[in-house]
Amino acid sequence: MKAVRVHELAGPQNLVLDTIPVPAIADDEVLVRVRAAAMNHRDIFITQGLYPQIRLPVTLGSDGAGEVAAIGSRVSGVAEGDRVVIDPMLGWGDDPRVWDAQAANILGMPHDGTFAQYVAVPAANVYPKPHALSMEDAAAIPLAGLTAYRATFTRGGLKPDETILITGIGGGVQTFVLLFAKHVGARAIVTSSSDAKLERAKALGADVALNYAATPEWHKALRADGPIDLVVDSTGGETLGKALEAVRPGGRIAVYGRTTGDATLKLFSLFWKHVTILGTSMGSPWDFRAMLELFEQGLRPVVDRVYPMADAATAAQRLADAEQFGKIVLRIE
């Protein structure tokens, strides 16, 4: 089968289209014929050697949708031909509050991932594809949608009458946060380095849009605009410090990434304002099921561009250069 692989840690341009054997499946696994896959920043970090415990060579890809091609001998409830979307969170465990740190890992390194014609995954990780969505739209959802759902609702506790601040709306996860926030009727403020992305966000329902590059003191401008109940951030660094200044007394900040590095926070603001900072990563099987339900109710993911799998390196470079708005999808022929 064809697969997009990493052989050396030399950046996204060095993704290689290989021919490798179709994976064997264990008794509790299914083999999925992947029709579409999607990229995440994780894939870029792996090509750059910026991820712990990298195993090479490896087939990248956490997100995928396709048809079940074979089932293991102990699998029930899934049949060959089922059209499915894959939950990339492997080994979450039994506790909805936190994953099992020993067992948990993410599809697409160390396990071979979805940028291939076939992928082997536990049967428990495949779910019926939302009916109204194409394979390409369904493939855009899993990792980013799951992370966004847990950050926004399970951890962030967003309510319809609240205001949410979403920093860096160009991010794949953040676009889902905006979709979900508007779906429940919350007021949404977004920031971006790009005016074009801010316009796209407004078209998706963002109520306030601010360019953080043109307005470095955006946190002060936003504080004057009204109370912010919840911030969702994956930037870290200075942005997190500014988010702490922007959020209302008693507000919450959900953090799932540190794209620009670690943060130094004004602890006085934290304790004097009684702010809650919530760490969150990926999501549980319960989060995944609840998140998919939103797409049964008519939501559609924002897809930036669709590339043939042979152009994976070009697609990955677009993500590395932060040119995208929404998800970058690979068509797996």
Interaction site with ligand NAP (CB under 6 A):
40-42, 143-144, 147, 167-173, 191-194, 197, 212, 234-235, 239, 256-257, 259-260, 281-282, 319, 322
For residue 279, give every residue at least 6 positions away whose Cβ sits within 8 Å of its Cβ, in sequence order, or none: 155, 255, 256
- Alpha-carbon distance of 71 to 120, in angstroms, equals 10
Q: Residues of 137-160 as b/e, b for ≥16 C-beta within 10 angstroms?
A: bbbbbbbbbbbbbbbbbbbbebee
| Shortest distance in whole angstroms from residue 161 CB to ligand NAP | 26
Residue 25 or residue 312: which is nearer to ligand NAP going by CB?
Answer: 312
- Rg of the Cα atoms in the chain: 20
Helices (H), the chain: 41-47, 135-139, 142-149, 172-183, 195-203, 218-223, 237-246, 267-272, 285-296, 312-320
Residue 23 or residue 88: which is nearer to ligand NAP going by CB?
Answer: 88
Residue 158 or residue 319: which is nearer to ligand NAP going by CB?
Answer: 319
Residue 11 or residue 72: which is nearer to ligand NAP going by CB?
Answer: 11
| Shortest distance in whole angstroms from residue 38 CB to ligand NAP | 10
Residue 33 or residue 219: which is nearer to ligand NAP going by CB?
Answer: 219
| Shortest distance in whole angstroms from residue 131 CB to ligand NAP | 26
Residue 69 or residue 107: which is nearer to ligand NAP going by CB?
Answer: 107
| Shortest distance in whole angstroms from residue 239 CB to ligand NAP | 4
Measured from the Cβ of residue 273, the count of other Cβ atoms closer than 10 Å reads: 16
CA distances 252 to 184, 238, 255, 266, 280, Å, are 18, 17, 10, 15, 12
Residue 130 or residue 257: which is nearer to ligand NAP going by CB?
Answer: 257
| Shortest distance in whole angstroms from residue 220 CB to ligand NAP | 16
| Shortest distance in whole angstroms from residue 41 CB to ligand NAP | 3
Tokens for 245, please give them.
């200044």
Tokens for 194, please give them.
């790009």
Q: Residues of 14-24 as b/e, b for ≥16 C-beta within 10 angstroms?
A: ebeeeeeebbe
| Shortest distance in whole angstroms from residue 27 CB to ligand NAP | 29
| Shortest distance in whole angstroms from residue 204 CB to ligand NAP | 13
Please choose, from the candidates 12, 138, 69, 66, the residue with its C-alpha nearest in 3D space to the C-alpha of residue 332.
66
Residue 130 or residue 172: which is nearer to ligand NAP going by CB?
Answer: 172
Tokens for 17, please give them.
């289209």
Q: Match 């779906």 to its residue by tokens.
A: 183
